[in-house]
Chains A and B, each alone.
Chain A
């Protein structure tokens, strides 16, 4: 993928992350009192709200793509050899896939799993 496309993704995820994280913080810190917002039962109920589950999944993807792509940029400035760039690119894709998969697993388990309050 061209660097300009990757940077477009970086800028788009930055804007999306600002919006999503803001909503998340407002929900968890203002609408619900912080003490109860992080209780096990509240978190489970949040995940089981279909809209909020999708919201959290979107937050997960946006933040991880933005974060790992940012790390890729930093690492590419450390060293300028083709093998290094290839490994950094592969590592970035792998890190995004693994962490998004693991986070998605958490969302799915919370929504459909057997955990109960």
Chain B
């Protein structure tokens, strides 16, 4: 098979160039396998980021044949044809070759306060009991907890391409994940952060984020549900119901 990789070192090159590698194909070969073969046997200078090789860590996000995908989760055979073109993901600065700068991505993720907030800070630091959820409450947020922060959704988002302050689908879906969590009491704080000229309203529902997600998360859905709460100015239950559930768990006998 022919592997075409975009190479670019911002400290050396004026512009990106495409390099071709002849890689012996085999059954079940993933694009990451092909890239690692090329790096190990054909060109040691190629830079790429990877880790788990099983679509769990989200490190090997790249643009494969024009679409953001995880290299470890994409088999060469499923792409059809004998040529695979690999480029770094769009909407990110390139550090070198296929390695992109995820700093602003994680900065935006941190910006939506992606953890449970309790009104009682002492209780938040040292919980006195297990915080419980009903199965139907879990159902509302479960798919959003599958996010592995690979950046594929952000790479495919047309708004991120033009608006550098837009949090992006990953951060917004995570904001919804915590706002919709009945154990959380920080929804109003997050809503205030997102009700901005470059906040949740800049999502135009292109839906490409949901299309490319390798974990089956539907960030576009999360963002539309989030808009409902931002419009009303309050989280689903304002934390009250969550506190009640928590109180019930506190009164339950301790687990052995």
Contacts and interface: CB of A to CB of B under 8 A. Distances in A.
Interface of A: 2-4, 7-8, 73, 76-78, 80, 85
Contact of A8 (B159, B163, B231): B231
B197 A7 contact: no
A80 B164 CA distance: 7
Contacts of B233: 4
B17 interface: no
Contacts of A8: 231
Given A4-B230, A4-B231, A8-B231, A80 B198 contact: yes
A73 to B, nearest CB: 8
Contacts of B159: 77
B195 A77 contact: no
A77 B157 CA distance: 13
B162 A77 contact: yes
Given A8-B231, A76-B163, A76-B197, 5 more contacts: A4-B195, A4-B201, A7-B231, A73-B202, A77-B162
B199 A80 contact: no
Given A7-B231, A77-B163, A85 B195 contact: no
B231 A80 contact: no
A7 B194 CA distance: 13
B163 A80 contact: yes
B-side interface mostly: loop
Given A7-B201, A77-B159, A2 B165 contact: no
Contacts, number: 31
B225 to A, nearest CB: 14
Measured as residues with beta carbon below 8 angstroms from the partner, the interface class of chain B is 10 to 19
A30 B212 CA distance: 46
B162 A3 contact: no
Nearest to B163: A77
Contacts of B202: 73, 76-77
A76 B159 CA distance: 11
Nearest to A2: B195
A4 B192 CA distance: 10
A28 to B, nearest CB: 32
B198 A76 contact: yes
5 contacts: A3-B199, A4-B231, A7-B231, A73-B202, A76-B197
Contacts of A85: 197
Contacts of A78: 162
Contacts of B166: 77
B195 A3 contact: yes
B196 interface: yes
